[in-house]
A = this chain, B = another copy of it.
Amino acid sequence: MTAIEQLKQRMADVGTLQSSAAVLEWDQQTHMPPAGAERRSSQLALLSKLGHEMLTSTETGRLLAEAERGADALDADSDDAAYLRVARRDFDKAAKLPTKLVEEIAQVTALAHEQWAAARAGNDYKRFAPWLEKILDLERQVTDHLGYKNERYDALLDNYEPEMTAAQVRVMFDALKAPVVDLVKAIASRGPDAVNMEPLRRDFDEEKQRRFNESVIRAFGYDFNRGRQDRAVHPFCTSFTRDDVRITTRYDRNFLPMALFGTIHETGHALYDMGVAAKFDGNVLGGGASLGIHESQSRFWENLVGRSRGFWTHFYPALQAEFPVLGDVDVETFYRAINRVEPSLIRVEADEITYNLHIMLRFEMEVDLLDGRLSVSDAPDAWNEKCRQYLGLTPPDDARGILQDVHWSFGGIGYFPTYTLGNVISVQLYEAANQSLDGRIPDLIARGEFLVIREWLGQNVHQWGRKYTPAELVTRCTGRPPTPEPYLRYLKTKFGDIYGL
């Protein structure tokens, strides 16, 4: 066997350990009896440790170096050349972190997660504060080991969005902030009754919701032979291979959008994972290019498809047939209801526009906390101040303020910007797709012909896995790296229409 073949085998084993752990995590979130938690955490810790050891071993390093010596002979655009670039990236990132630090982070975040959950439930920031302090300290150590050119944040962001920097995020967010805030203000000026959400709060039987939602995602091409849907407290998508990609959802009997758009969102992630080229499955090029690209897929289906007028032209009769309680609500009223914009305190409940303000707030908080410009004890006030500034609202307590999100408790600092990045990229891809399909996408959606759209995404985005960096991939698809103009255009057009601006 050549060095690269041996390397691939070894890295495949690392991937197999990671995907085994993913099965255990899925079970933990969906089916595990409560008392099983303790053993589960030791199982996950061991699999993670063995995977890390295998990835960072001197033997992996030796094989990688040997394989790289043959890289000059490779076409730069070949799969093997990409394989070596990505394997080198994964190896260096992992090898730079001492095993002890990785283990400590795993231990601390496992405990911190519990403390965060208790702190949020009890509205007790002081309980979580020392853990946040500890996590920030550990993440600073991580940035020291990983290295960075300009600012610490870059080293963490790069884990989720390869080769993106905080400066680039700042440029994008600066371009978005004023227009988004203006748009929200203009919408607010139409008064709270401009759009009526009441129809969404009627009584919707859960089993009927499940059935309708399943009919939607089957129409998108979600393949139940290669996946399944379960209930979980938090909706997510997880993949053990492109042939086993599972989604979860949660239901609110009195709020139809919860499960519906949650399901569509996770299906967007799932279609990406199911669509990565079979040749990449289980190797380092499998999986998505970045969290931002992943989020562009979930947002594409959730917002650009699922919250479009055409989508409901197609699906509303079936929805009404399933729920006669919507008999007196016409499709336009329904369309407006699911697109209602109103500043609110909770990110995961935010509408399509104000969602981005929640993200900007978190990004700025993270940068300041990481750099130490903001102390953990001052953080709740800073949060509330930004909340007033961006959303015009003051959280009545920390549970609905700084404690609302899980991310920091698992050490996911640098993760939030990818949400807004996903929004931005989703529209940029939509425009490119629509152009290449001769402007037919709105019509395809209205006719329920989703597979043509999925095919375009499959050809242009999904199949490539991690072969290209996010910026390369977006440039290949749209002619330029991620840029906020198409997204802003889309927001203004769509919500200008709905709110008569």
Contacts and interface: CB of A to CB of B under 8 A. Distances in A.
A105 B113 CA distance: 42
Given A23-B24, A27-B23, A39 B228 contact: no
Contacts of A228: 31, 33
Contacts of A35: 223, 225-226, 243-244
Given A39-B243, A240-B39, A241-B38, A17 B46 contact: yes
A39 B283 CA distance: 12
Contacts of A246: 33
Contacts of A223: 35
A20 B16 contact: no
Copies, count: 2
Contact of A33 (B40, B227, B282): B227
Interface string A251-283: 000000000000000000000000000000110
A348 interface: no
A227 B347 CA distance: 35
Given A33-B228, A35-B243, A38-B241, A43 B19 contact: yes
A187 to B, nearest CB: 42
A34 B225 CA distance: 6
A24 B20 contact: yes
B20 A43 contact: yes
A224 interface: yes
A50 interface: yes
A144 to B, nearest CB: 30
Grouping DSSP codes into helix (H, G, I), strand (E, B) and loop, the A interface class, with mixed when no group exceeds half, is helix
A446 interface: no
A436 interface: no
Nearest to A244: B36
B33 A225 contact: yes
Contact of A282 (B20, B39, B243): B39
Nearest to A47: B20
A133 to B, nearest CB: 31
Contact of A243 (B19, B38, B227): B38
A205 to B, nearest CB: 17
B16 A46 contact: yes
A247 to B, nearest CB: 11
A322 interface: no
Interface string A26-55: 110001111110111011001100100000
A68 interface: no
A50 B36 CA distance: 23
A151 interface: no
Contacts of A244: 32-33, 35-36, 39-40
A13 interface: yes
Among A26, A27, A38: residue with most chain B CB under 10 A: A27
Given A23-B27, A24-B23, A50-B50, A16 B33 contact: no
Contacts of A40: 240, 244
A223 to B, nearest CB: 8
Contacts of A50: 50
Interface in A230-251: 230, 240-241, 243-244, 246
Given A24-B24, A31-B31, A33-B243, 19 more contacts: A16-B42, A17-B46, A19-B39, A19-B43, A20-B20, A20-B46, A23-B43, A26-B27, A31-B228, A33-B225, A33-B246, A34-B225, A35-B225, A35-B244, A36-B226, A36-B240, A38-B241, A39-B241, A39-B282
14 contacts: A16-B42, A16-B46, A19-B39, A20-B47, A23-B24, A26-B27, A31-B31, A33-B243, A35-B243, A39-B243, A39-B244, A39-B281, A40-B244, A42-B282
Across the A-B interface, give the 9 residue pairs with the lowest CB-CB distance, nearest first.
Answer: A36-B244, A39-B241, A35-B243, A35-B226, A20-B43, A16-B46, A35-B225, A33-B228, A16-B43
